[in-house]
Amino acid sequence: MLKKKTITNQNIYIFVTLYISLIIGFYFGENLNFGSRNDWFGANINPIKDFSNDFTATLLNYEMYNHRHSPVYLIFLSLFHKIGLPYDLIRFIHLNFSLILIYAFFKCLKFKFNQIDLNILFLISISILLSPTLRSLSIWPDTRLIGLIIFTFSILDFLKFQQSKKLFLFYRSILILIFSSYVSPNFSVFIIFYFIYFYKKVSSNNFIYAIFICILLSIPAFYYLFVLDVNFLLAKTPGANEFSPQGFNLNISNKLMIISTIIFFHLLPFILNKKFLNGLVKSLKTNFLYIIPLFLVNIIFFNYKNDFTGGGVFFQLSYYLTKNNFIFYFACFISFCTMAYFIKSSYVNLIIFSILILSNIQNTIYHKYFDPLILILFFTIINHHSIKDFLNKKFNLVYLYLFYLTYILLRFVKNTFFLY
């Protein structure tokens, strides 16, 4: 497909329409993720207020807020409160700041797919304005979204290094990743992927220097968490019990089954086509003897409960429609087959999927941890023929937008009829 060098007015209008819908959502207090509004009022406002009034005392006692997110971005927001801005104006500033994610994602797409029509790439990047997570975390400020913005800029430098092999891009991608980890610690696990990839791409000296930089820059975080003993990461989550007071759960079966179905759900607009499904069937024939035992073993140890909250679309659908896990187990089996097909294409996909699982250590597993992260990873780091297949037909964008509209509808139905 020949590349168009300018974005059409029609697509600009689509962006403006989506942005206006976000403003309308802001005005009416849209809360598609359901918990985002409660998180803002129940967990974020108090530390923002206290940081602006007594920074040192709040920083040294941050764990008392039972807040599992880093204080870094809340400190930034507290500066607006300190100069007298009302909370709603702070929220509106955050909402517009969140749009930087579209810019960062578009820059990644534009760099990686420089032969693809610019309008296709633009429409993909602005589609995240329909993401229930992005909408909720834009309207109700959350540190994870800001961490994702910074992480996406790290991916951009990673992509540039892949092409140019310039050392400053190698170092800068790692530094930006570290910065994103300070804002949202869940992104820190992506250093595993970076080091595995960079190991044979840079000299041993540069590789060692990079490790040293990571250790050096992690010292403030470790000092804050373990020496000053302000370990906010140990805040309680749903599912906490006498065996796991903080709600941590190392049951790998829960994570494998739920996270694989969440990944599968977010890949649906790209894999529901004849070519992919034919390849999936062939892959299943090859991997059947590996997938079945893995699937059955995980069923035995799976013990995620609905009262933990979260669990993903398929887990929730299975619970509300049948009061059992049968629908979920079927979706999980298909998800395992899909993951195996992706992994067969590239070891990179295995690393990415493993990291997504490792990034969640607590009991609760929510879609917001992976949306729109999976979309960004799919088009930037994940390697599979389905990416180019999707980009080769402009009509495929309809499937992406229909997916997000359906996702919004599902969130609306759940929030309206099942949570009150």
Task: Name the more confident of 35 and 242.
Answer: 35
Q: What is the pLDDT of residue 187?
A: 95
Question: In degrees rounded to 5, what are phi and psi of residue 357?
Answer: -75, -40
> Percentage of residues in the chain with pLDDT exceeding 90?
74
Beta strands in 110-183 (DSSP E): none
Residue 236 has pLDDT above 80, yes or no: no
| pTM recorded for the entire structure | 0.93
Residue 21 has pLDDT above 50, yes or no: yes
177-181, 216-220, 285-289: least confident range: 285-289
Q: What is the pLDDT of residue 367?
A: 87
Residue 231 has pLDDT above 50, yes or no: yes
In tens, the pLDDT along 252-283 reads 999 999 999 999 999 999 998 888 988 888 88
Residue 370 has pLDDT above 90, yes or no: yes
Residue 250 has pLDDT above 90, yes or no: no
Mean pLDDT, the chain, rounded, equals 91
Calculated CA dihedral for residues 252, 254, 260, 265, nearest 10 degrees: -160
Render 309-349 in DSSP notation, one character per residue.
Answer: -B--HHHHHHHHHHSSSHHHHHHHHHHHHHHHHHHHH-HHH
Q: What is the pLDDT of residue 35?
A: 86
Tokens (6 digits) for 35: 């918990």
Q: What is the pLDDT of residue 243?
A: 45
In residues, how long is the chain?
420
Q: Which of 210-219, 274-283, 355-364 has the highest mean pLDDT?
A: 210-219
Q: What is the pLDDT of residue 246?
A: 46
Q: How far apart are the first and last CA of the chain?
A: 49
Tokens (6 digits) for 327: 């629908």
Please state whether 391 falls in left (phi above 0), alpha (psi between -120 and 50) or beta: alpha
